[in-house]
Structure 1
Amino acid sequence: MHKFLSRTALATLALTIGTEAMATEWNVSLWGKRRAFTEHVEKLAELVEERSGGDFTLNISYGGLSTNRENLDGISIGAFEMAQFCAGYHPDKNPSITVLELPFLGVQSLEQEVKISQALYEHPAAVEDLARWNATLLMPSPLPQYNLVGMGDAPQTLDDFEGLSVRATGGIGAAMETIGAVPTSMSATEVRQAMDSGVVSAVSFAPHAHMAFGTIEIGEWWTTNLNPGTVNCPVVVNSDALADLSDENREALMGSVDDALDHYVTFYNEKTMAAWGPALDERGIERVTFGDEEINAFREAAADPAAAAWIEENTERGLPAQELYDFVTGMIAEGN
């Protein structure tokens, strides 16, 4: 009887260990803290675990696996299976998707940003571009138009940006340069220290990031309608890890993307933007609104030169740059 029970116990233990070994866990590299910008990843983790019956889990880390500028490198070597990054942090590593960071593209909503980003992510040139890093584009992190929170005297005209040191990446930085500002590219986690030390006097962010990274705690003014553009920050997965998933777990992951994005858009529109105005009011931050004439002049000065430069530079890289630009602008023109 003793031997029988021992063998039964051992068999049960072996079965348990075998079951646990079959479960799939992915590590996910994010940064900062949980905020509107990461809500789709949090929702995705929840849905994947639920739909896989607990067989597939996403372990989300905020800065514990990599720095935000090295997330794509980590994906390439399989240091973790999923990560978020912003194209403008390293445009040379992902030039195909930086077309979405060109200034004044005219995207009108988060919903439109999702649709255009997802379409571009499936373009053969973008797929091939990210494949160099063993990465598969999974989903975007749609953001509204960026605007500035700054310190010191509030600009009253575009001329007042002359010589102003501004944290601005990608196409936004190029746009700010056309009105005399001095753009500096740095990651979101470096921004508050740069403001505190006087390295920059203004910061270009979407509203959630101004709140999450503390710029409004020391900011004195906010531009309501400069709207030079936004950044594109995809979530990617290691291609080998994706291929190794069981059919059921791959379906749990891929089949949850649209629901996760729907959750993200609702959260951003209904919670983040609702909190933004009161946050400015509580801190006495001055709102700066520019006239149509100045905004139109800014657009004319920045949009076409930035697009032409992007097309020329990336054609030389071997990308079908004109095709990518026409693809994106064509969707926007059609209202897609």
Structure 2
Amino acid sequence: MRKLLGKTAIAALTLAFATEAMATEWNVSLWGKRRAFTENTEKLAELVAEKTNGEFTLNISYGGLSNNRENLDGISIGAFEMAQFCAGYHRDKNPTITVLELPFLGVETLEQERELSMALYEQPAVKEDLARWNATLLMPSPMPQYNLVGLGDAPRTLEDFAGLSVRATGGIGAAMEAVGAVPTSMSATEVRQSLDSGVITAAAFAPHAHMSFGTIENAKWWTTNLNPGTVNCPVVVNTDALEGLSDEHREALLSSVDEALDYYVDNYTNNTMSAWGPALDERGIERISYDADALAAFRDQVAGPAAEAWIADMSARGLPAQELYDFATAKLAELKGE
């Protein structure tokens, strides 16, 4: 009996250790709080856990693992296995994907932004760029066109933008600068305080972020259709961690990307955008719309020069900038059926 119990105990311990060895936990670095922008990652975690019966889990942290501007650095050293970041936060770290942040690129829908991003992420130059950080691009966080909320007098003409201090990153910042505004780059979590203290008088965000970070709480106006561009914010994984997964767990992760993005786009379209109009109305925020001539003048003044400057800058760094720009614009035209 003693021998039988001994063998049973050993078998139980062996099974326990084997089960523990099969379990995989990844740490995921996000920031702020759970919101429409993070629903792709939240859904991904849910799907992965379901497909692996809880053997592969994504532990999502909102600011507890890294500063949002240092998420790519954390990925590079393996401080965590997955993270979200925005290209415009540190364009020198990820120059190739900033092509999608050029102003007035012409993206019209979240689906176009999604498909364009996924296609660009597969380009060899882009993969090589992110490989410097031991990072593999997993999926985008598609966002609609940014617009501005602000305090004080609203900019009703292009001339009114002169001297406007605005939080705007990447290509949107370039667009603002081209019409005489003074763009300032800061992380999303700093914007509300900067508005309230008068450091800036306007901020460029997608609707979900204006609501999540409180920029509409004291705002007086909102530009409905300036649509200068958006930012590209991918979710990346540590390449070594990805390659170290079992075949089953890697398949569970990669096969869940499309479904996570489907959920994200549906949630943003049907929940976030439906809440946006009422949120403005409740706070008495004035909607500022520009006529077709003003928008055309804005594009003419900004789009071409910004693209030319980006191509020249990136080419000087040895990147295939013209090829990346041509790929992005041709792919977008294809997605739009042009």
Q: TM-score, normalised by structure 2?
A: 0.97
Which residue pairs with 2:45 in the alignment? 45
Query: Is residue 2:200 matched to residue 1:200?
Result: yes
Q: Which amino acid counterpart does residue 300 of structure 2 have in structure 1?
A: E
Which stretches of structure 1, 4 residues or more, deviate above 6 A after TM superposition? none
Q: How many residues align?
A: 336
Q: CA deviation at 1:8?
A: 2.2
Show the counterpart of 1:5.
5
Instruction: Provide the residue aligned with 1:245 in structure 2.
Output: 245
- Letter in structure 1 aligned against 2:174: A
In structure 1, C-alpha distance between the alignment counterparts of 2:303 and 2:155, rounded to whole Å:
21
Rounded Cα–Cα distance in structure 2 between residues aligned with 1:6 and 1:60: 41
Runs of 5+ consecutive residues of structure 1 not aligned to the other structure: none
Partner of 1:283: 283
Query: Secondary structure of 2:74's partner?
Result: helix
Query: Which residue type is aligned with residue 203 of structure 1?
Result: A
Give the corresponding residue for 1:65: 65
SS of equivalent residue, structure 2 residue 216: helix
Output the amino acid matched with 1:253: L
Provide the secondary structure at the position in 1 that maps to 2:9: helix
2:177 aligned partner, one-letter code: E
* CA displacement, residues 154-174 of structure 1 (integer Å, 9 cap, x when unaligned): 222121111010000000000
Aligned-partner Cα distance in 1 for 2:76–2:332: 32
- Look up the match of 1:329: 329
Partner of 2:23: 23
Counterpart position of 1:160: 160
Which residue of structure 1 aligns with residue 219 of structure 2?
219
- Report the counterpart of residue 175 of structure 2 in structure 1: 175
Matches of 2:244 and 2:211 in 1, distance apart?
A: 39
Percent identical: 75
Matched position secondary structure for 1:222: strand
Whichever residue aligns with residue 237 of structure 1, its letter is V
Distance in 1, Cα, partners of 2:154 & 2:315? 39
The alpha carbon displacement at 1:295 in A equals 0.8
Could you tell me how far 1:10 is from its partner in structure 2?
Answer: 4.3
What amino acid is the match of 1:112?
Q
Aligned amino acid, residue 208 of structure 1: H
Structure-2 separation of matches of 1:46 and 1:277:
30
Whole-Å separation in 1 of the counterparts to 2:314 and 2:125: 12
What does the per-residue CA deviation read over 1:77-116, in whole Å, with 9 as the maximum and x for residues that have no partner? Answer: 0000000000000000000000000000001100011110
The alpha carbon displacement at 1:3 in A equals: 5.7
Instruction: Please give the secondary structure, in 2, of the residue aligned with 1:79.
Output: coil
Q: Secondary structure at the match of 1:334?
A: helix
C-alpha displacement at 1:20, in angstroms? 1.3
Quote the Cα distance in structure 2 between the aligned partners of 1:202 and 1:10.
66
Q: Distance in 2 between matches of 1:155 and 1:91?
A: 28
1: CA distance, partners of 2:57 / 2:110:
28
What TM-score does the superposition give when structure 1 sets the normalisation length? 0.98
In structure 1, the partner of 2:261 is: 261
Shift of 1:13: 2.9
Q: Once the 2 structures are TM-superposed, how far is the Cα of residue 21 of structure 1 from its aligned partner?
A: 2.4
Shift of residue 6, structure 1, vs aligned partner: 4.9
Which residue number corresponds to residue 191 of structure 1? Answer: 191
How far, CA to CA, are the matches of 2:333 and 2:159 in structure 1?
31
**Alpha-carbon distance in 2 for matches of 1:12, 1:148:** 61
Superposed CA offset, 1:262-317 (max 9, x none): 00000000000000000000010000001111111000000000000000000011
Give a deviation string over 1:202-221, Cα, whole Å, max 9, x none. 00000000000000011110
2:235 is matched with: 235
Q: Which residue of 1 aligns with 2:141?
A: 141
Helix, strand or coil at the partner of 1:215:
coil
Structure 2 distance, partners of 1:305, 1:258, is 35
Partner of 2:85: 85
In the alignment, the residues of structure 2 paired with residue 33 and residue 3 of structure 1 have an alpha-carbon distance, to the nearest angstrom, of: 55
Asked whether 1:54 is paired with 2:54, we answer yes
Work out the CA distance in 1 between the residues paired with 2:211 and 2:228: 19
Structure 2 distance, partners of 1:229, 1:242, is: 32
Q: Distance in 1 between matches of 2:334 and 2:20?
A: 50
